[in-house]
Amino acid sequence: AQSVTQPDIHITVSEGASLELRCNYSYGATPYLFWYVQSPGQGLQLLLKYFSGDTLVQGIKGFEAEFKRSQSSFNLRKPSVHWSDAAEYFCAVGLLNYGGSQGNLIFGKGTKLSVKP
Amino acid sequence: DGGITQSPKYLFRKEGQNVTLSCEQNLNHDAMYWYRQDPGQGLRLIYYSQIVNDFQKGDIAEGYSVSREKKESFPLTVTSAQKNPTAFYLCASSRASGADQPQHFGDGTRLSIL
């Protein structure tokens, strides 16, 4: 069965430091992968997506993610974190067997990012 | 600008009462979704609709009902059968129903018990 794992529930980084949020997936083929961000009390906003081609994907707000097939990973990175990046981040994978009880995307449980001044 | 509008932002329910959460989109998307979000549990799918007049149960449909009479609207009713309705509810839509379709989200409705 397809699944998405975000191993880190909560990460704290200092402002200006680099960031890497981990995402691992279980999938039988090349997946469609997404990263979303959620500010407190808000909906989710799409940061970036990977379908095929270049394994390094650029997104909004200065984020990028790298698809590594050998590691079944799609980690999100940012070179220098700003205080406004404090939020919760969700990784998602597109489901091939759309029509079941999970819709078209499976979401990880999220990683909450705190930023120290 | 196109987007998804959820209302109200905050909603309070009395014991034994049904309440309806509104979700409207002007993105001309075919598919729409309702999620429940509880702390530490990520997003759990309640119902989704691939097209007008059709909808399917998600993982946690018990105690909820939906309708999809218009393309742009997908209201969610939290019935009295849902014994623990306190949560943050998110509505989303996607252009079509494929694995490559990103979902676009509204700003959510927070439901609490009085």
Confidence band for A73, pLDDT divided at 50, 70 and 90: very high
Chain B residues within 8 A of A94 when measuring between CB atoms? 98-101
Q: What confidence tier does B98 reach under pLDDT thresholds 50, 70, 90?
A: confident
Q: What number is the average pLDDT over the span A88-100?
A: 83
Q: Are the beta carbons of A101 and B45 separated by less than 8 Å?
A: yes
For B26-55, write each residue's pLDDT tens digit: 999 999 999 999 988 889 999 999 999 999
Nearest-Cα distance to chain A for B53, in Å, is 15
Residue A89's pLDDT band (boundaries 50, 70, 90)? Answer: very high
- Contact map slice: A 17-76 vs B, CB within 8 A: 32, 34, 36, 41-46, 49, 51
3-class secondary structure, B67: coil
Which pLDDT score is estimated for A3? 86
| pLDDT greater than 80 at residue B1 | no
Do A17 and A37 form a contact (C-beta atoms < 8 A)? Answer: no
pLDDT tens by residue, A99-108: 677 778 999 9
Provide the pLDDT for residue A104: 85
| Chain mean pLDDT for chain A | 92
The pLDDT tens digits for A16-40 are 999 999 999 987 677 899 999 999 9
A contacts of B45 (beta carbons < 8 Å): 101-103
Residue B86: partners with Cβ closer than 8 Å, 6 or more residues away: B111, B112, B113
Classify residue A54 by burial, with Cβ atoms within 10 Å: 0-12, 13-18, 19+: exposed
Percent with pLDDT over 90 in chain B: 82
Read off the pLDDT band of A98 (50, 70, 90): low
CB count, 10 Å around CB of B70? 11
pLDDT > 70 fraction of chain A, expressed in percent and rounded: 97
pLDDT per residue over B45-97, tens digit each? 999 999 999 999 999 999 999 999 999 999 999 999 998 999 999 999 999 88
Helix (H, G, I), strand (E, B) or coil at A84: helix
